[in-house]
Amino acid sequence: MTTASGITLQGVTAPLRWSDYKLIAFDMDSTLITIECVDEIADAVGRKAEVAAITEAAMQGHITDYKESLRQRVALLKGVTVQQLDDIYATRLRLTPGAQQLVAAAKAAGLTTLLVSGGFTYFSRRVQQRLGIDLARANVLEIVDGRLTGRMVDQPWGDIVDGAEKRRTLLEVASLLGIDPHQAIAVGDGANDLPMMGAAGLSVAFHAKPAVRAQAKVAIDEGGLDRLLEIME
């Protein structure tokens, strides 16, 4: 294990080479952006503390059924309006410092960029566009008459993006690109990121939960996402 200021490497040595990788996959909530969207939506209906406690337990890995935990949280969001969602995006959602720089550097190095989130397309599509990310997969909130119903919409690939789906998405994209999964980088912070991080050649924990940090090859504990650029060439 080697440690620089705020960065820990386990099983790898710097500098790492961009040329060894062809794909980089990012979690969204608390990784590319500074908030957990589901918690902020819950705040609109006065349920933030309740929902945030479930989110924290899921991210720590204390809840084994991520899909059920997300269904429980989304059910509590029933009645939130599209206007409230727009307000959350406008006033609370902020890109993580260094996100734009890291995505730009990866793209300049020729990597395909992927956002794969247990969050919601209502936000991920806008984040994808802002950062110029090539591909994205997230969950779809059901909206009827301008309000959340408390349910999610099944998609052609399945129902909910959980840890297993994140891993499957990374492997699917790698296959479509004709690359080995070890030519992928996966960046995340929560327990549901561990399956895709384990499948990738380089796993990066960003201000992560202890269980995630312990298993990652690179852990960034201080500063922004662009800290990864310090160990890449």
CATH of domain 2-34+96-231: 3.40.50.1000
At 118, which helix (H) or strand (E)?
A: strand 112-120
Residue with tokens 């699917």: 172
Q: For the chain, 233 residues long, give each residue's pLDDT as a single digit of tens.
A: 766 789 999 999 999 999 999 999 999 999 999 999 999 999 999 999 999 999 999 899 888 899 999 999 999 999 999 999 999 999 999 999 999 999 999 999 999 999 999 999 999 999 999 999 999 999 999 999 999 999 999 999 999 999 999 999 999 999 999 999 999 999 999 999 999 999 999 999 999 999 999 999 999 999 999 999 999 99
**29 tagged catalytic:** yes
Q: What is the pLDDT of residue 63?
A: 87
Q: Which of 20, 27, 39, 159 is catalytic?
A: 27
Could you report how far apart the first and last alpha carbons of the chain are, in Å?
Answer: 20
**Contact, 183 vs 172, CB < 8 A?**
no
Q: Which of 29, 39, 162, 189 is catalytic?
A: 29
Q: Is 83 exposed, middle or buried (0-12, 13-18, 19+ CB in 10 A)?
A: exposed
3-state per-residue secondary structure call for 153-164: ECECCECCCCHH
Tokens read off for 84: 């409230």
Tokens read off for 2: 């080697």
- The letter for the amino acid at 164 is A
Q: Is 178 helix (H, G, I), strand (E, B) or coil?
A: coil
At 4, which helix (H) or strand (E)?
A: strand 2-4
Write the CA distances from 32 to 4, 35, 95, 132, 143, integer angstroms.
22, 9, 6, 12, 25
Give the pTM: 0.95
Q: What is the pLDDT of residue 64?
A: 81
